[in-house]
Amino acid sequence: MDIEIPRETLKTGHEMPKVGLGTWKLTGEDCLRAVPLALAMGYDQIDTADVYGNHREIAPALREVDRDSLWITSKVNRGSLRYDDVLATCEKNLEELGIDCLDLYLIHWPDPEAPMAETFRALGRLVDEGMTRAIGVSNFMVEHLTEALAVSEVPIVNNQIKFNPAHQPWEVVELCRENEIAVTAYSPLMHGDAPGHEVLREIARELERTPVQVALRWLLQQEMIVIPKATSEAHLRENLQILDWELSPEQDARIRALA
């Protein structure tokens, strides 16, 4: 390991790494190769989900490292949010990953078909039974999060939402902040469009960085957790070089103005 990633203290006291590896569409041989490479480089957070279908390909890399040094997030999909389905899906996910306990288990998407209070009761049971250390949500906008906060008896520590220079839903971020909910920015590289983005390129030239690094650094400066997905060694490495420099307030404002 050649780098130490800072951590965010959640309202439960758990410490979540501020940079993680996203694994949507990272499957098969690519996944078997990229995950151990990332862990060896210093990544200590893996973001996955039941629907990504890659738990079994992530598992071998987890066996090679100290479990306590890693943060593993997975998600239960809409369609599996009734009480028994949540418990069964989490049990299956743990078996696939070859671990006893997740660090964070998220509701992947809100589902109007499943009563939210029932889903949160099931998530509370997962915490009580030691199947996950903490729980949270994903793709919860203001209306969903307001309902979740009203019905959940377990602390909601994280909301994973799409957030990047081209997509800035600040209203939900503000609600998260008011309720001490850490925000994870997904698709931080705009699904791979960051290198061609004009403003990011301009700021990258000024800082002698890359547009991808500017996007990730900007999100860290908005006090968000970032989970860029990368496959190649070069991309994995580039995406970690964002910890020891800063955008100026003026550069920060130029990206904010894209909202």
Binding residue for ligand NAP (CB under 6 A) from 10, 17, 18, 22? 22
Q: How far is the CB of 222 from ligand NAP (least distance, A)?
A: 15
Q: Please report, as residue ranges, which positions from 59 to 78 form the binding site for ligand NAP (by CB under 6 A).
A: none
Structure tokens that stand for 162 in this block = 């799409």
Of residues 146 and 232, the one with the C-beta less far from ligand NAP: 232
Active-site residues: which are they? 52
Which 3 state secondary structure label does DSSP give 237? helix
Question: How many Å apart are CA 27 and CA 134, to the nearest integer?
Answer: 26
Binding residue for ligand NAP (CB under 6 A) from 44, 47, 50, 57? 47
Rule CB under 6 A: say whether 168 interacts with ligand NAP.
no
Binding residue for ligand NAP (CB under 6 A) from 84, 192, 202, 206? 192
Q: Please report, as residue ranges, which positions from 218 to 247 form the binding site for ligand NAP (by CB under 6 A).
A: 227-232, 235, 238-239
Rule CB under 6 A: say whether 188 interacts with ligand NAP.
yes
Rule CB under 6 A: say whether 23 interacts with ligand NAP.
yes
Question: How many Å apart are CA 222 and CA 205, to the nearest integer?
Answer: 21
Three-class HEC string of 28-70: HHHHHHHHHHHHHHCCCEEECCHHHCCHHHHHHHHHCCCHHHC
Q: Which residues of 22-46 are buried (b: 16+ CB within 10 A; e: fewer)?
A: bbbebeeeebbbbbbbbbebbbbbb
- Binding residues (CB under 6 A) for ligand NAP: these are 22-24, 47, 108, 138-139, 160, 186-192, 195, 212, 227-232, 235, 238-239
